[in-house]
Structure 1
Amino acid sequence: MKSLKVVFLGTPEFAKNSLEAIYRSSHQVVGVVTVADKASGRGQKIHQSPVKEFAVAHQIPVFQPEKLRNPEFLEELKSLNADIFVVVAFRMMPKVLFEMPAMGTFNLHASLLPDYRGAAPINYAIINGEKKSGVTTFFINEKIDEGNILLQKEIDILPDENAGSLHDRLMELGGKLVVETLDRLAEGSIEEKPQPQVENPKNAYKIFKEDTRINWDLPLKTIHQFILGMSPYPSAFTTLKIGEGEKGLKIFGGRYEISNHGQPAGTLDISKNVFKIYTRDGIYYPLEIQLEGKKRMNVKDFLNGFKNFDEIKMA
């Protein structure tokens, strides 16, 4: 089988796993493109992306252009004579870039396309209570996540699985699929197929802060899936009124109980041994939480930190 020369484009841990899989395969990674180093955290220390860290550790040339249309960057990339570009969790690419290699550019997406095109496919699969998810490799074109499909692999979503767990499983599956895609492209055994035309495909739009607030008026099962789908990141939140002030409370998980309790939705019942929130059709019991300004903890430790529970209300 022919060994392909690959340029890899990606940034987070999800992408690093695929880069490592290619590096350990029969194919050759001749360059890596990732975001610029950023200052973050206390002390604003400079941090490299996981993809850059791996590339530097394995002596792979790294490119961090501010603009992907930069002529110098494009010339440098062209000089690598890559057969193909592989993209995992990167930004939108101009045509001049994704059309550069002779074999084209393919992307790994964490859903079974055409469903869940967009920035947050893993979160929305959990939020919507899907039973299955998967990964897709497809050739990039000028429309977001709409290119011809190369390969797909499907997995079951586990009961009460959160976005973090599904992310990690799809990350592993994705690395294997990327290498399989390269292998089969090298031997000419893939027949690319246009994505099926679906009248109303499920979307996975980018999630903003305002999208993460919990609506306690929704059905309890919907709330539970929403919290799981936002956990651990970007994390679902509600707001508590504590004394005269208000603080955000992130909820990472919990259990629920369908019941006809007669309490208004969003009512909080909290004491030394109890933390429950009433919804219109049951009770939600948070189990892992983080109060604004505090560290993440289990609900028992959270309750041990308070004395006057009468001061705590839902905002």
Structure 2
Amino acid sequence: MKDLRIVFMGTPDFAVGILDAIYKNNYNVVAVITAPDRPAGRGQKIKYSAVKEYALEKKLPILQPTNLKDEQFLEELRNYNANLNVVVAFRMLPEVVWKMPELGTFNLHASLLPDYRGAAPINWAIINGETTTGVSTFFIDEKIDTGAIILKKETSIGHNENAGELHDRLMHLGADTVIETLDLIKQENVTTTIQPQEETKTAYKLNKDNTKIDFTKEGNQIHNLIRGLSPYPTAWCTLIDNDNEWNVKIYEAKYEEDAHNLPIGKLVSSKKEIKIAVKNGFINILRLQLPGKKPMMANDLLNGVTFSDNAKAI
């Protein structure tokens, strides 16, 4: 039986759910490493990471290095005498860090590895129309998300489930999986499975190009893109109505099959709904955000905005 001394590394809300489970299961977290504080918002006020907020609340020691190879940081890390690192939604670690603890460093990844290695596994599983996904724990090696797998847990993806909803479910599934992984390590009962190294489905970093809606695609593909990017970073398109042009975020929509002869991208609106013509049907926009406005339901927008017959989406 091993007495675990854990350094936890993570930054966003997803990581907080895992750290909370570790803490509540009475594992010894000797330090927390998270991203440096950054100015955010219009006022550029200093913002703490979600993990830092939690660590402060629980009075856990916090390290916020800008350079993970900095000798002062490494010396401070060594002084905590940890024998295991646990990583959730953090950055790539240099070898000197992940090799430091006696028992190694394991990562929780929000996919069924080797599928969806990379930055945005939750989003891409939905965007690509997957019906199942899950979480994996694995020992970190020199590449990204390629190390030996400890545990995998699977879950289904709902037909209309969005990335935010799946994120929350995977956080809970991930917490259970991390605790089970810690128990195995504590009991010195870990067996691992080597991942196949060939390229599989990839969770590319999200950017302005791959989050833009292409209305020439099939309706189900567009529906999957919108829910796979909601509520963040959000799918977007450009609405054009005569001389007016807006870049609009689409938070929620549904695909309706319906034969028509309208040009792709034509906007069809009534007092209650906004639809965009696509192949074999329409994308019915349910929730959206115009520049400078808050997100709103389409029927609320239509109380104050009227689109002409020339309106289209590109």
TM bucket, shorter chain: over 0.9
How far, CA to CA, are the matches of 2:3 and 2:259 in structure 1? 63
Question: 2:224 maps to what in 1?
Answer: 225
Question: 2:49 maps to what in 1?
Answer: 49
Within 5 Å, which residues of 2 pair with 1:1-315?
1-197=1-197, 199-307=198-306, 309-310=308-309, 312-315=311-314
Cα pair 1:123 1:229 within 8 Å, conserved: yes
Deviations 1:159-215 (A, max 9, x none): 211111000000111111111111111101120110135x55100010111211100
C-alpha deviation, 1:307, in angstroms: 4.1
Deviations 1:109-145 (A, max 9, x none): 0000000000000001001111111000000001100
**SS in structure 1 of the partner of residue 302 of structure 2:** helix
Amino acid in the other structure paired with 1:175: A
User: Which ranges of structure 1 fall in alignment gaps of 5 or more residues?
Assistant: none
How far, CA to CA, are the matches of 2:291 and 2:241 in structure 1? 11
RMSD, aligned α-carbons: 1.4
User: Which ranges of structure 2 fall in alignment gaps of 5 or more residues?
Assistant: none
**SS in structure 1 of the partner of residue 111 of structure 2:** coil
C-alpha deviation, 1:311, in angstroms: 7.0
Q: Which runs of 4+ in 1 moved over 3 A?
A: 307-313
How far, CA to CA, are the matches of 1:147 and 1:59 in structure 2? 32
**SS in structure 1 of the partner of residue 288 of structure 2:** strand
Identity %: 51
**SS in structure 2 of the partner of residue 193 of structure 1:** coil
How far, CA to CA, are the matches of 1:217 and 1:28 in structure 2? 53
C-alpha deviation, 1:274, in angstroms: 3.3
How far, CA to CA, are the matches of 1:24 and 1:308 in structure 2? 54
C-alpha deviation, 1:264, in angstroms: 1.5
Give the TM-score normalised by structure 1: 0.96
Cα pair 1:7 1:85 within 8 Å, conserved: yes
Give the TM-score normalised by structure 2: 0.96
Amino acid in the other structure paired with 1:232: P
C-alpha deviation, 1:310, in angstroms: 5.0
C-alpha deviation, 1:267, in angstroms: 1.1
C-alpha deviation, 1:292, in angstroms: 1.4
Q: 1:200 to 1:66 in 2, by over 3 A?
A: closer
